Amino acid sequence: MKKFFLSTTVLAIFACLLWATPFTAIKIGLKYTTPLQFAGVRFFLSGLLILPFIKDLKLKILKSKQRWKFVLWVALLQTTFLYGLFYIGISFLPGSLGAMLIGAQPLFAAIMAHIMLSNDKMSWKKIIAILLGMTGVCIISLGRSDFVLSTTIPLGVGILILNNIVGSTGNVIVSRDAKDMPPRVLASFSMIIGGIGLMLASVPIENPSWHFNFPTEYWISLCWLAMVSAFAITIWFGLLQRPNVKVSNLNTWKFIIPIFGAFLSWMILPDEHPDSISIIGMMVIACSLLAVNYLNRISI
């Protein structure tokens, strides 16, 4: 039973479930502060939350100093640049289009893995399976009613495409080069450094206030987001470091994030209800995940 719960599939699904929960909390937090500042504080706290769970912390810090360039690179790619581009890009786009572009991340992960890794090459069958998943994300996203054409759409599209490239490159680097670093150490240090980077970037870009005299709902949302990031990113880094896990296959599980997000909206929000378009999109995504996992099994 323990082996089942620690399997790559179960842990990947759990991480994606965690990533599907923050949207409401982000909306609450952004009522009181700016995007980059809020993201920076969130990830800084996430990194701090992991520290007490790292055994022999002083020894791990000393060892990590030898690879400070790698830790800094991961921090910039997986936190500062990734979430900085995400928050900026999403502000230029309607939610439905933003969701579709973010949902394309598994395709970019497969492309970057194909370019940067010798053991994770694309095949036509894998491409078709990933495109099927993207189709499901598009169906769910187009079911929303917030798509409005605007002159800022090309800029937003470009920023989110760059966001996908940055995130995918970070995934490949962690998978390829982090074999000797415990996931908790890498996740903690990279989020602390990346969070500081986001907060520093917010000063010239957003000129935010630093009084933090906010109501209780702000602190509840911030704490939840910090815990989600601490758990999900630590799990994800651990999975990326497993020798039998391919970046392209692992990232296809992110297709289920909009499914979890939709279910949570139906359960929590009184005005949200299941609709036929969303159900069809979910079924298409399910077919994509089944296809990718079948291809992964027959290639072993």
* Mean pLDDT of the region 56-84: 87
Would the pLDDT of 175 be above 80?
Answer: yes
Mean pLDDT of the chain, nearest integer: 84
Is the predicted pLDDT of residue 242 greater than 50, yes or no?
yes
Query: What's the DSSP call for residue 104?
Result: T
Contacts 24+ apart (CB under 8 A), 203-211: 205/36, 206/34, 206/35, 206/36, 206/37, 208/33, 208/34, 208/36, 208/37, 209/33
Are 102 and 251 spatial neighbours (Cβ–Cβ below 8 Å)?
no
Q: What is the pTM of this model?
A: 0.86
Long-range interactions of 249-252: CB distance < 8 A, separation 24+: 249/292, 249/293, 249/296, 250/8, 250/12, 250/171, 251/105, 251/106, 251/109, 251/110, 251/168, 251/171, 252/106, 252/129, 252/130, 252/133, 252/288, 252/289, 252/292
Model pLDDT, residue 236: 94
* DSSP code of residue 278: H
More confident residue, 215 or 27: 215
Q: What is the pLDDT of residue 230?
A: 95
Reduced to 3 DSSP states, what percent helix, strand and coil does the chain have, rounded to the nearest 5?
Answer: 80, 0, 20
Q: How far apart are CA 75 and CA 55, in angstroms?
A: 21
The CA-based angle 20-284-1, given to 5 degrees, is 60
Report percent pLDDT > 90 for the chain: 34
Q: How far apart are CA 199 and CA 40, in angstroms?
A: 5
In 3D space, the residue among 7, 35, 53, 54 whose CA is nearest the CA of residue 225 turns out to be: 35
Residue type, position 254, single letter: K
